[in-house]
Chains A and B, each alone.
Chain A
Amino acid sequence: MDPLIVTLVTFDGAVNWTVGFLTTVAIFAILALALNVQWNVGILNFGVAAFFMVGAYVSAVLTLPAPEGLESYVAGWGLPVPVGWLFAAAAGAVLALLLGIPTLRLRDDFLAIATIGVAAILRSIANSVEGLVNRSRGLNGIDGFLESEFAGGGYRWVELVIALVVLAAVYWLVSRGTASPWGRTLRAIRDNEDTAKASGKNTVRFRMSAFMLGAMLMGLAGAVYAHRSGTISPLTFSDLLGTFFVWTMLIVGGSGNHRGVVLGAVVVGFFWFGTPLIQESLPDWLGSRVHQVRQLLIGLLIVVFLLWRPQGLLAERDRVSRFVTEGPPSGHEDERRVWRERLRSALHR
């Protein structure tokens, strides 16, 4: 029997699995929320894995002790973990700034194209430049936050609490951001960029700020991930898990709605990390192909949701401000609602 199944049939095993699962999902939920911040203003970021990776590596090299023996990486200053987090977030924002300067002023589609390759390039840099981040050997022995204080045991729970606290903080930040004048401007830019420009908004600067905020949070998620797993290598940050997986969470959960995005992370995460649990009980022809099948389904979920439930599990609420209790004021054409109706009629044509 699969050792995983054995761990699950015992109570402790099930609890342990759930704690680990929730920690992972919380980290992915941060990524999805961050992506939502960017997507909400019409920024198509196909390079989530790149920002995730930069955050993880920056925090890792800053907090690791100086390299010895065969190891070779920069920094290694042994800084405290929270400092690593801060720099990770800053690194994500800087990467966004570098990418955004040439592309954000141009057509919408160019940023998407520019971002598809970034993760692959960062992976190849990490893999091929000697003395930067240990190349393909990866970085090992990254300290967990407060790990030494809980050396006696129960650190899994601490990890879960850390991930949830960061998630809660990020959720609070993006919710406040969306509800603020800044967030309203971003929605206005998304719905009609020309009108926003005519109202005197510097749309490039607003979109850049959203791009950087999202990237910052992705970098933070990367740092949380690195200190949780203890080991990172270029292979960890695949396009599939680092980028496409997060997009599926966003589309399934409901783009534009923060609660929906977190729900999407839980649902898609359970689908992905839960399938190995039933692998043993599947017939052999399917069981041996579980990885490919679930990958196929990840892609299928995106397409199916775009076609039949473009608003996601939880739709974005149409409101201008929480002080306006009725629906959207007359004349306000909510793009998503109109899109939904048009799609419905198109499907029944």
Chain B
Amino acid sequence: MGIIVGSIIALGAMGLTLIYGVLGIGEFSHGDKMGWGMFLAFFVVSAEGANLGFAGGRFGSLSFGWGLVVGLLVAMVGVALISVIMERLVYRRLRAAGGSFFIFAIASLGMSIMLRAAIQLIWGPSNFRYTPGIHPAIEIFNGIKVKPDQFFIVGVAVLAAVLLYWLLYRTRFGKAMRATADNPGLAEASGIDTNRIRMGTWVVGGILAALAGVMLGLQAEVRFDAGFRLLLPLFAAMILGGIGNPWGALLGGLTVGIAQEVSTQWINTGLKPGIPFVIVIVVLMLRPRGLFGQTR
């Protein structure tokens, strides 16, 4: 169970850590971008989507079919577009004016409120599910039951981490991204179009946010503030893994997810949201660069 939640947190934290690392922006609207991804996919698989001919069918024992695959694509394009628009309209202007981390953080907070309000405006405050009904779990061993969907979620997270690593460390684009992260001025002087790199970073971050959002919707309920509620675990995973480190985000996400679920053995379930916070504080006190962060 913790591994599933952890995978979702990891997916979100990968996007967050990428944006933080390359652009230096603490993206407080990342949770709500997940929310948008979740709802865009919901739009496709729900009744409105069915009218367009996207619903129905299931893959084997998974709870979804082509509808959700199309939904996932729509969500990725949609959230990437939202991110690019935000960069173009807001962040680029603030950056040109020399805005500090604080200005970006407050701007992203404002946009987080807007994104969340927009979801409520369109879909209302109710909870939804991608596919109604009960999805049976399969017993793998010793009474541990896993739903087929949950294998899929973990697989997506691991695949995303591999792809992100490949993009960052094995492609020219990734090299340019890392150069921009280290020293934007120098990167620009060496002929890198930093604006294009930033746009690319937002696109990748948006895709990751959408993935995380759809997986969250698959695992739990589709709810307007589900993404926002995950914001602290995301940041906890990012800090735990070291800012800008995709593997760190994956491991950090899994750690936070597992810690949250395991904690309920000893503490009141209602206190579960406090676990990521405790992790943040402990990591900050002992290893501010993160458990898996390297010293530059």
Binding site for B on A (CB under 8 A): 42, 44, 46, 102-103, 106-110, 112-114, 116-118, 120-121, 124-125, 127-129, 240, 244, 247-248, 251, 289, 292-293, 295-296, 298-303, 306-307, 310, 338-339, 342-343, 346-347, 349
Contact = CB atoms under 8 A, between A and B. Distances in A.
A124 B274 contact: yes
Interface in B243-296: 268-274, 276-277, 280-281, 284-285, 288
Contact of A303 (B26, B107, B120, B268): B107
B120 A116 contact: no
B90 A303 contact: yes
B63 interface: no
Question: What is the predominant secondary structure among interface residues of chain A facing chain B?
Answer: helix
Given A106-B288, A299-B110, 11 more contacts: A44-B105, A108-B101, A110-B284, A121-B273, A124-B270, A125-B274, A295-B117, A296-B117, A339-B99, A346-B96, A346-B97
Contact of B26 (A102, A109, A128, A349): A109
A24 to B, nearest CB: 20
Residue among B97, B118, B239, B281 with most chain A CB within 10 A: B97
A296 B122 CA distance: 12
B89 to A, nearest CB: 8
A163 B271 CA distance: 34
Nearest to B286: A102
Contacts, number: 140
A310 B100 CA distance: 13
Interface string B105-127: 11101111111111011000000
Contacts of A121: 271, 273-274, 277
Given A299-B111, A306-B110, A346 B284 contact: no
B277 A118 contact: yes
B231 interface: yes
Contacts of A293: 117, 121
A349 B97 CA distance: 11
B62 interface: no
B270 A129 contact: yes
Interface residues of B, number: 46
A21 to B, nearest CB: 22
B120 A112 contact: no
Q: Lowest 8 A-B CB distances belong to which pairs? A: A128-B270, A302-B110, A299-B113, A117-B232, A299-B114, A343-B97, A346-B96, A296-B117
B98 A114 contact: no
12 contacts: A42-B102, A46-B109, A106-B284, A114-B284, A121-B274, A128-B270, A247-B109, A292-B117, A310-B103, A342-B98, A343-B97, A346-B96
Contact of A124 (B105, B110, B271, B285): B271
A244 B109 contact: yes
B93 interface: yes
Interface string B228-242: 010110010001000
B137 interface: no
A312 to B, nearest CB: 12
B28 interface: yes
A120 B107 contact: no
Contacts of B285: 102
A109 B238 CA distance: 13
Contacts of A129: 268, 270-271
Interface in B102-154: 102-103, 105-107, 109-118, 120-121
A110 B113 CA distance: 21
B271 A342 contact: no
A109 B25 CA distance: 10
Residue among A109, A112, A343 with most chain B CB within 10 A: A109
Contacts of B271: 121, 124-125, 128-129
A107 B289 CA distance: 10
B163 interface: no
B94 interface: yes
A114 B239 CA distance: 11
A189 to B, nearest CB: 14
A78 to B, nearest CB: 29
Residue among A103, A110, A248, A300 with most chain B CB within 10 A: A110
Given A124-B271, A289-B121, A296-B118, A342 B110 contact: no
Contacts of A349: 96
A307 B107 CA distance: 9
A343 B110 contact: no
Contact of A108 (B90, B102, B118, B274): B102
Contact of A113 (B109, B114, B117, B239): B239
Contacts of A298: 113, 117
B239 to A, nearest CB: 7
Given A46-B28, A102-B284, A295 B239 contact: no
B102 A44 contact: yes
Nearest to B239: A113
A295 B116 CA distance: 9
Given A106-B284, A296-B117, A114 B277 contact: yes
Interface string B75-103: 00000000000000010011011110111
A342 to B, nearest CB: 5
B90 A109 contact: no
A46 B98 CA distance: 22
Contact of A296 (B103, B114, B288): B114
Given A113-B239, A121-B274, A128-B268, A307 B93 contact: yes
